[in-house]
Amino acid sequence: MEPDVCSAKGCRAAATRALAWNNPKIHTPDRRKIWLACDEHKDSLGSFLSARGFLQETAPHDGTLQPR
């Protein structure tokens, strides 16, 4: 099985963090989207989401956060 890779555009690095987010304009409140991030992109992806008010929580990418 392929390792999970970072969600940043064009990045193929292995993910180390999971970022849970929800866009209230298009998602119902019970939905949870997951982006994965490598060490290099965890800050930029996190600030992209938090600047828009979408970020719910982050955790190590160990399967704790699952999409729903």
Positions 10 through 39 that interact with Zn ion (CB under 5 A): 11, 13, 38
CA nearest neighbour of 12 among 39, 42, 38, 46: 38
Binding segment toward Zn ion, per CB under 5 A, in 9-17, 24-32, 52-60: 9-17
* Interface pick for Zn ion out of 6, 18, 34, 36 (rule CB under 5 A): 6
Nearer to Zn ion, 19 or 65 (CB): 19
The distance in angstroms from the start CA to the end CA of the chain is: 22
Rounded Cα gap, residues 57 and 44, in angstroms? 15
The residues of the shown chain that bind Zn ion, judged by CB under 5 A, are 6, 8, 11, 13, 38, 41
